[in-house]
Amino acid sequence: MSEQVSRFGVTELEELPEDLRERVGVIAGKSGFVPNIFRALGRRPAELRAFLDYHDALMERSDGLSKAERELVVVATSGANHCTYCVVAHGAILRIRSKDPQLADRVSSNPWQVELDERGRAIVDLALALSQDSALFGEPDLAAARDAGLTEDEIWDVGAITALFAMSNRLAHLTALRPNDEFYGMGR
């Protein structure tokens, strides 16, 4: 089988504009490798820049959902969307952030029925409702989230992260994006 990372080729760190080279360099420094999503999106620096900005605005936010909960939304919706890159890469991050080596595999294989505490369940239910059949998303979905104690800001977080990964999942499907080898074993 081929080792192709993206159907549209990759742009290596040193080929990126300076601001992106620096920014992705910091991530690569921490992880020890450049996540393939950045190599694939590097083909279009303006889009990579906006992607990073959107990602950081939602995934690095300190208020509201915990970091692990943010990754829970990503892994649940990416599992439902059958997005291999996001399941493998964010599965790794979820293992690390949740300190639970099994959670990602259980969430991604069946987000609808994975056993979670009440708050986790409410987060995942809300995310799936918006991710999967979004034309039907409505007041009952919001009411269930509020009943489980989610604040308006937390609901926005769940919804906006779900929306961002509706995009990311499709970018990964578009490019047939290959997860970096390193992700598979992280946090196990």
Residue ranges in contact with a second copy by CB under 8 A: 1-2, 7-8, 43-44, 46-47, 49-51, 53-54, 56-58, 79, 81-84, 87-88, 101-102, 105-106, 108-110, 112-117, 130-131, 134-138, 142, 152, 156, 159-160, 162-164, 166-171, 173-174, 176, 179, 181, 184-185, 188
CB of 25 vs a second copy, minimal distance in Å: 20
CB of 97 vs a second copy, minimal distance in Å: 17
For a second copy, the closer CB: 34 or 77: 77
For a second copy, the closer CB: 2 or 99: 2
**Cα–Cα distance measured from residue 69 to residue 21, given in angstroms and rounded to the nearest whole number:** 29
For a second copy, the closer CB: 12 or 118: 118
CB of 96 vs a second copy, minimal distance in Å: 15
CB of 21 vs a second copy, minimal distance in Å: 18
CB of 6 vs a second copy, minimal distance in Å: 10
